[in-house]
């Protein structure tokens, strides 16, 4: 049965995006979330992260005066999108939208690139890194991936 | 019957062994720890496909990563080969992208994430494993297919003792395991297709067996599991460590949360604060309803809300109940309202629980993982010192579901 039909049956407006329903239904399986009632702003922000994560496997950032922060979601157990492109000076923010703890590490040999986040709190934790060097950098979650790029790993392509 | 299955499985494994070659403990391909290599990781790093890493008694403060295909890692004694995480290391043994790796006959305890963990693999087996007090899951396969968990124990984890997630078709069997003192005995997020959970015991967790659909992993919704011949009881344990989902599901024996076309057959289920067997929707960023689930020939008793329960959008979703032994149901007269064959003779009630009761009922906060008990000595793998090493190079032999009977109460 289609989700839209189900929403209609429960009298949700199918024209409303699923993200608009977040304060109503999102993460209700997490007990506390229902009790605490996720703030609308937070839910919207999470939704933006989710949508940006799902929109493309590669995010191209146009050159320009403003350098928007690029969002990467740490889901269970992958980075979405797996590959993103930024320019020098631009930042990437990882948000743990999964149930499990994740981190962000980069192999320090041959280049100590600087990414080093020990742990994300599931569902809320974030880590932001501003890229100051150009290059292609593989990073990984040390819990669910390896420095060889197996398992939970991603790539940041940084251009000048 | 169970013995027959084991014999068949053993015969199949020996057949595989004969065809591909395996290592016995007298082979040159055995890497002994600590006799030949000081650590398990060193032995694993030196191993090539077909090798056996044979670990002697001792406590190993290691987090082992395996990236080599088709090796077998075995402890000489399940209860005395102990990987110790000290709540600082993440995973006891994790297999990342390596095919056919088998881990046997050892214990992993006190890891921050997982005891035994396969991810991104085709072919896996965990046998005679004990996983205790691990921070996410005890024994865990993610994004992996063609696997077996058997003769194993998972206890004291806040998420699940056993977990299979994000696979379709999974082609997996969980057989003859015990899960207790976990948030969830078994959790299977988006684990679909030819996944059988059989002949096992799920007791004194917050919730027993919980296949579920979520957006936090790929391949939703969850579908097509067979849950057969299990003992599921007293899953109301508020002392366990627990993530939010485990708190939410607490008090249910078998709870299908947003899954479709699961078959729940010949399980004995008793003593639950909410439902013995419940079929309910789940909500994440998406809403996951339930369709085509079949609950038949189970014996369910002593459930405080209902032995059998269904929350579904409408009768056309074809969730059905037949030939169960039970006393209470929501909706009432559930086998006449939602029969597996014939015509419904009772009205359909789409949310009789109601669902909000499940969600909003106050549940105890997470308990202290460090207070979860050891299980005591567990059954050892037969002839661990000399048995041939057989990597998991072929899909598991299908379990004969039709031959699995309703288990007797212990």
Q: Are B233 and B148 part of one and the same domain?
A: no
Cα–Cα distance measured from residue B196 to residue B148, given in angstroms and rounded to the nearest whole number: 10
Question: Quick one: three-class SS letters along chain A?
Answer: CCHHHHHHHCCCCCCCCHHHHHHHHCCHHHCHHHHHCCCHHHHHHHHHHHHHHHHCCEECCCCCCCCCCEEEEEECCEEECCEEEEECCCEEEEEECCCCCCCEEECCCCCCCCCEECCCCCCCCEEEEECCCCEEEEEEEEEEECCCCCEEEEEEEEEC
Return the CATH number of A56-159, one of 2.60.40.420, 1.10.10.10, 2.60.40.1080, 3.60.130.10: 2.60.40.420
β-pair partners for B74: B54, B104
pLDDT at B16: 40
Q: Do B282 and A29 touch (CB under 8 A)?
A: yes
Q: What is the number of domains present in chain B?
A: 2
Query: Is the four-CA dihedral B372, B375, B381, B384 of positive or negative sign?
Result: positive
pLDDT at A51: 28
**Integer CA distances (angstroms), B387 to B22, B101, B283, in order:** 10, 16, 47
Structure tokens at A53: 């994560």
**Is pLDDT of A65 > 70?**
no
B359 touches chain A (CB under 8 A): yes
pLDDT at B320: 97
Cα–Cα distance measured from residue A121 to residue A32, given in angstroms and rounded to the nearest whole number: 15
Q: Are B354 and B303 part of one and the same domain?
A: yes
Report the residue of chain B nearest A25, measured CA to CA: B283
User: Which of B125, B158, B191 is the last residue before a domain boundary?
Assistant: B158
Residues of B in contact with A81 (CB under 8 A): none
Q: Do B67 and A25 touch (CB under 8 A)?
A: no
Q: How far is B164 from chain A (nearest CA, A)?
A: 12
Would you mind telling me the total number of residues written for chain A in this entry?
Answer: 160
Q: Are B131 and B280 part of one and the same domain?
A: no
Query: Is the four-CA dihedral B375, B376, B377, B379 of positive or negative sign?
Result: negative
Q: Are B190 and B117 part of one and the same domain?
A: no
Number of other CB atoms surrounding residue A53 within 10 Å: 22
Report the residue of chain B nearest A143, measured CA to CA: B90
Q: Please give the residue that has the higher pLDDT: either A110 or B176.
A: B176
Residue B245 is given by DSSP the state H
* Residue among B91, B283, B289 minimizing CB distance to A28: B283
Helix (H) or strand (E) holding B66: strand B64-66
Range of the domain at B319: 170-365
Q: Are B133 and B197 part of one and the same domain?
A: no
Q: Do B120 and A143 touch (CB under 8 A)?
A: no
Q: What is the dihedral of CA B202, B205, B207, B210, to 10 degrees?
A: -50
Helix (H) or strand (E) holding B123: strand B122-132
Q: Residue B194: CB partners within 8 Å, gap ≥ 6?
A: B169, B170, B171, B172, B224, B398
Cα–Cα distance measured from residue A55 to residue B141, given in angstroms and rounded to the nearest whole number: 27
* Residue among B217, B313, B363 minimizing CB distance to A75: B217
pLDDT at B33: 98
Looking at residues A65-78, what average pLDDT do you find? Answer: 89
User: Which of B158, B190, B220 is the last residue before a domain boundary?
Assistant: B158
A47 touches chain B (CB under 8 A): yes
Q: Do B285 and A47 touch (CB under 8 A)?
A: yes
Q: Are B238 and B329 part of one and the same domain?
A: yes
Helix (H) or strand (E) holding B102: strand B101-109
Q: Do B284 and A26 touch (CB under 8 A)?
A: yes
**Is pLDDT of A59 > 80?**
no
Query: Is the four-CA dihedral B272, B254, B219, B130 of positive or negative sign?
Result: positive
Cα–Cα distance measured from residue A151 to residue B117, given in angstroms and rounded to the nearest whole number: 12
Interface A-B: count of C-beta contacts within 8 A: 107
pLDDT at B27: 67
Decide: helix, strand or coil at residue B15.
helix
Q: Are B255 and B145 part of one and the same domain?
A: no
Q: Taking a C-beta distance cutoff of 8 angstroms, is the pair B405, B197 a contact?
A: no
Report the residue of chain B nearest A36, measured CA to CA: B360
Residues of B in contact with A22 (CB under 8 A): 285
Burial A110-126 (b: 16+ CB within 10 A, else e): eeebebebeebebbebe
Q: How far is A129 from chain B (nearest CA, A)?
A: 24
Mean pLDDT for each consecutive 10-residue tract of chain B (410 residues)?
A: 39 39 64 98 98 98 98 98 98 98 98 98 98 98 98 98 98 98 98 98 98 94 98 98 95 98 98 97 93 98 96 90 97 94 87 80 95 98 96 97 98
The domain limits of chain A are 56-159
Number of other CB atoms surrounding residue A66 within 10 Å: 7
* Residue among B96, B136, B212 minimizing CB distance to A100: B136
Q: Are B131 and B183 part of one and the same domain?
A: no
* Domain contains B408: no
Q: What is the dihedral of CA A23, A24, A26, A27, to 10 degrees?
A: 100
User: Which of B158, B181, B212 is the last residue before a domain boundary?
Assistant: B158
Q: What is the dihedral of CA A155, A126, B65, B371, to 10 degrees?
A: -170
* Residue among A3, A19, A33 minimizing CB distance to B244: A33
Q: Is the pTM of this model over 0.80?
A: yes
Q: Please give the residue that has the higher pLDDT: either A132 or B267.
A: B267
Report the residue of chain A nearest B247, measured CA to CA: A31
Q: Are B137 and B282 part of one and the same domain?
A: no
pLDDT at B355: 77
Structure tokens at B350: 């789409």
Phi-psi region of B366 (alpha: psi -120 to 50; beta: other; left: phi over 0): beta
Report the residue of chain A nearest B290, measured CA to CA: A1
Q: Are B152 and B213 part of one and the same domain?
A: no
Cα–Cα distance measured from residue B231 to residue B202, given in angstroms and rounded to the nearest whole number: 6
Cα–Cα distance measured from residue B120 to residue B402, given in angstroms and rounded to the nearest whole number: 31
Structure tokens at B353: 């629980």
Q: What is the dihedral of CA B191, B194, B199, B205, to 10 degrees?
A: 10
Dmax over Cα atoms in chain A, in whole Å? 57
CB contact residues (below 8 A), chain A span 102-141, against chain B = none
pLDDT digits (tens, 9 = 90+) for B337-387: 999 998 888 888 888 888 777 777 899 999 999 999 999 999 999 999 999
Written as one string, the DSSP assignment of B269-292 is EEEESSEEEEEE-EESSSEE--BS
CATH of the domain at B99: 2.160.20.10
B101 touches chain A (CB under 8 A): no
B318 touches chain A (CB under 8 A): no
What is the pLDDT confidence band of residue A49, given thresholds at 50, 70 and 90? very low
Residues of B in contact with A77 (CB under 8 A): 119, 142-143, 217
* Domain contains B21: no
* Domain contains B109: yes
Which phi and psi (to 5°) does residue B356 adopt? -55, -30
β-pair partners for B291: B260
Residues of B in contact with A42 (CB under 8 A): none
């Amino acid at each position: 049965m289609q989700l839209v039909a189900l929403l209609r049956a429960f009298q949700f407006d199918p024209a409303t995006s699923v993200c608009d329903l977040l304060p109503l239904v999102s993460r209700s399986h997490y007990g506390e979330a229902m009790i605490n009632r996720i703030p609308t702003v937070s839910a919207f922000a999470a939704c933006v992260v989710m949508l940006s994560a799902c929109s493309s496997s590669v995010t191209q950032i146009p050159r320009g005066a403003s350098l928007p922060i690029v969002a990467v979601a740490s889901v269970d157990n992958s980075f979405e999108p797996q590959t993103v492109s930024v320019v020098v000076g631009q930042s990437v923010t990882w948000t743990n939208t999964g149930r499990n703890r994740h981190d962000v590490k980069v192999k320090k040999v041959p280049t100590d690139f600087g990414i080093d986040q020990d742990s994300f709190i599931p569902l809320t934790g974030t880590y932001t890194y501003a890229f100051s060097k150009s290059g292609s950098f593989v990073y990984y979650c040390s819990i669910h991936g390896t420095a060889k790029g197996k398992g939970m790993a991603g790539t940041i392509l940084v251009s000048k | 019957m169970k013995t027959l299955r084991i014999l068949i499985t053993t015969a199949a494994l020996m057949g595989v062994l004969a065809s591909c070659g395996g290592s016995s403990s007298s082979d040159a391909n055995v890497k002994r720890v600590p006799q030949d290599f000081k650590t398990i990781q060193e032995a694993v790093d030196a191993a090539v496909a077909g090798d056996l890493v044979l670990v002697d008694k001792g406590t190993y403060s290691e987090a082992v990563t395996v990236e080599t295909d088709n090796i077998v890692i075995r402890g000489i004694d399940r209860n005395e080969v102990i990987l110790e995480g000290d709540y600082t290391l993440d995973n006891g043994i994790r297999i990342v992208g390596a095919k056919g790796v088998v881990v046997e006959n050892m214990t992993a305890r006190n890891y921050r994430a997982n005891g035994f963990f396969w991810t991104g693999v085709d072919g896996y087996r965990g046998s005679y494993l004990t996983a205790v007090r691990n921070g996410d899951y005890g024994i865990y396969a993610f994004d992996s297919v063609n696997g077996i968990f058997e003769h194993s124990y998972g206890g004291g984890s806040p998420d699940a003792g056993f977990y299979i997630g994000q696979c379709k078709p999974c082609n997996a069997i969980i057989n003859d395991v015990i899960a207790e003192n976990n948030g969830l005995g078994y959790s299977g997020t988006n684990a679909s297709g030819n996944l059988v959970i059989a002949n096992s015991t799920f007791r004194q967790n917050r919730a027993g067996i919980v296949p579920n659909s979520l957006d936090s992993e790929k391949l939703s919704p969850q579908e097509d599991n067979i849950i057969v011949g299990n003992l599921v009881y007293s899953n109301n344990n508020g002392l366990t460590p627990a993530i939010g989902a485990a708190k939410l599901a607490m008090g249910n024996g078998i709870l299908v949360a947003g899954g479709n076309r699961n078959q729940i057959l010949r399980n004995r289920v008793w003593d639950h604060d909410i439902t013995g067997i419940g079929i309910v929707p789940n909500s994440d960023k998406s809403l996951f309803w339930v369709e085509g689930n079949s609950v038949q020939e189970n014996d369910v008793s002593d459930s405080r809300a209902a032995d059998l329960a269904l929350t579904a959008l409408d009768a056309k979703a074809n969730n059905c109940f037949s030939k169960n032994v039970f006393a209470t149901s929501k909706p009432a007269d559930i086998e006449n309202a939602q029969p597996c064959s014939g015509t419904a003779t009772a009205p359909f009630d789409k949310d009789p629980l109601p669902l909000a009761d499940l969600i909003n009922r106050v549940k105890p906060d997470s308990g202290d993982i460090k207070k979860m008990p050891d299980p005591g000595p567990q059954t050892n793998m037969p002839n661990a010192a000399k048995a041939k090493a057989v990597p998991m190079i072929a899909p598991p032999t299908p379990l004969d579901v039709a031959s699995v009977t309703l288990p007797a109460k212990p």
